[in-house]
Each structure stands twice: as structure tokens, then as C-alpha cells.
Amino acid sequence: MSCLQEDLGVVGVPDLGSEGTIANGGALSSLPLMVSDNPETVSGASGTLWQHSLASASGAITSRLFLWHVNGSGSSKKLGVTVENTGDTPLKISSVKRQTGTGGDYLEIGKCNAKALLGATLDNHTPVDAGDIAAGSVGLVEEFSWNSGAFRGAQYEITVATSSGSGNVSYILRTVWGATTSNLRTFKASPVALVGTHPRGSWPASEITVDLIWGTGPTAPPVTQSYRLANRVHDFICKAADSELPNLASDNPANFGSICRKINLKLQNMSMEDVTVAVYVNPRGGAFAGSVRASTMLPGARGIPKLNAPGDAVRLGTIVSPKQTQKTEEIELVVAGGSATPLLIIVVPL
């Protein structure tokens, strides 16, 4: 278990105040991201759920994978993650870090995965195929016995490198299911068809930046302001249209598998007095969980327990906005699998 970070307490949502200004949303240069959550409930005998084509001349690539599926086939299966070597030099699965869970409480599993990702406490895992993967061959990262009706959620960071440690790396990362372990290594076909709107895709970045502007003038009293995120506007970097295989991908507006690496809360206090503010996270779309940290309020990663919209919130802490200056608090947040979005960041002057 790699998600031992303490959870914050649940509190009531404060007054939402007025809508605050959000600016400069976009992707940060970071690890590429693959999201495999469609079809969430998998039927049929076997196949490819999703894939991510990766290539570099640097000798190694590290990427993130968010996996989220239920076995709806009616029989026991194997669920796996594979690497197909599409280059002409041998490759190795050189590092696997992951947190995974199974059971009926999807949101709790998603929260654990989110805490391990943000807290950098993913477990080290030895790949099934730890030796060389020859050109054209498929190596198995991990497999799970997958009973009928069972759910499996996982967050990975996987590094694939040339066996020599230098040169061109070219491979396809896949999530697959089938009857046997050897069966999993045979799949090279395109992913199965989409079912509904659960997210699926492969994108070049897995971290997001956005600026939240809170301010008070020289004479007006400070006011509460709220900032809506994960709502297909300012922090929407995982669009189907921008994914590999866009016609088979599905939007990821909640940014599952991603880190909102820099939510820059810019406190602009032009008054003649220091102002202390409290900062809250509040869901607006349904049940929500995840993980969060902030540069001074919460220097270590903490869990966001199950919050019910719209009445529940967590309070991240308080921060002083010095008079006649700007101060930035950097907030990092991961949305747990199973969560409903959007969500609000609420800044309340005390």
C-alpha cells in the first residue's frame, strides 16, 4: 500500500461569493499520458482496450497510464499492460511504478491512486517480462486475474528503454484483455469501439497549469471568490481531437491520470492592510475525492476524502496576503478515478 498520506477533514461549503478570474490555462511539459477507461465495462472475449504510440531518440521514455475497467464479459479473464517494440533495437521495461486496487468502492480506490501519484509513493513493481523485448515482439508489464464482474483501477509510471541505454526508442503501450497470459502478448490490433462517454486517449502531457486571480483594491473590502475547474474550459488539455487515434478517443475533461501541477493562486492585495484568506475545494458535479498539496498551506500531499456535491468541502488552510503586493500560492491537485466534476477552488477572506 503506497497511499498512506493522511486525509483532510470534511467541512461545510462556505459562501461561494463571486466568480473569480482564471487565466493562462494549458499543458506543462511533462510525462505523456494514456487513459484507458472506455469501455469502462468490458464485454467480449479479448482485445485491445487502448494504446499509446511513443518514440524518442533519448534512449528511454517514461509515461503515465490511468487504467479503469470492469470485467463485464461474463467469464474470468486476464487484464494486462503490454509493450510492443516497433523499432529495430531491443527494448527493456526498465522501471514500473504503480498503485492499483480492486473491489466495489471505486472512489476509495481512485483516491488511493491519486494520493500515491501526487505524493510520489507509487510502488515499485517488477515487470512480468523483465528481459529484452526483440524488435516486433510484445513484452508484458503486468497482468491481473480478472474475475467476472470485478473492477480494476491503476495508476502507472512506466519507463521503457533501449537495452543498450542509448539510441532510438519506439513502442506501443497497450491495455489488453484475454483468456491467458500468452494471449495478452498477441494483441496488436486497433482498440475496441467506444461505449458511451467515459474518457480514453493518449496525450503528450500529463500536467496542467492555470492561474487563479484573487484581488482586493485600495479601499474596497476583500470578498470571497470562486474558481471553477475541470469544466472543459481553462484546464481542458485532454481532448479527443488532440489524442492519438482521435476518432476512437473520448474527452477527459476531469483530467484523470493528470496532475494539476501548478494551480497558481495569485493573491493581489492592493489595500493598506494584510488580509488572511482561507482556501477550500468543493465539488459541484457529484461525489468527488482526490489528493492535494499547497506550497505553504499543505507542503505534503494529503487526501481529499469523499465529498458530496454541493454541500461538502475540504479546507486546505489559511494564508496571509501581504498589503500592497502580490503573493502566489501553488496548489497541486489530482482528481480520483470515479469522481464527478467540475470542482471549485474557493478563496474566503477572514
Question: Can you give the pLDDT at residue 165?
Answer: 84
Find the mean pLDDT for residues 22-37.
Answer: 94
Amino acid 219: pLDDT: 86
Query: What ranges do the domains of the chain cover?
Result: 10-29+205-349, 33-203
Residue 134 has pLDDT above 90, yes or no: yes
Predicted pLDDT at 257: 96
> What pLDDT, on the 0 to 100 scale, is given for residue 2?
83
Average pLDDT in the 300-304 region? 97
Is the pLDDT at 63 greater than 70? The verdict is yes
Q: What's the mean pLDDT in 198-221?
A: 95
pLDDT score, position 30? 87
Q: Which of 42-46, 171-175, 216-220 has the lowest mean pLDDT?
A: 216-220
Determine the average pLDDT of the residues in 280-287: 98
> Average pLDDT of 243-266?
95
Q: Give 50's pLDDT tier (boundaries 50, 70, 90).
A: very high
pLDDT of residue 261: 86
pLDDT band for 138, please (50, 70, 90 cuts): very high
Name residues whose C-beta falls within 8 Å of residue 255's C-beta, 6 or more positions apart in sequence. 208, 230, 235, 237, 238, 335
pLDDT above 70 as % of the chain: 100
Query: Does residue 302 surpass a pLDDT of 70?
Result: yes
pLDDT on residue 1: 60
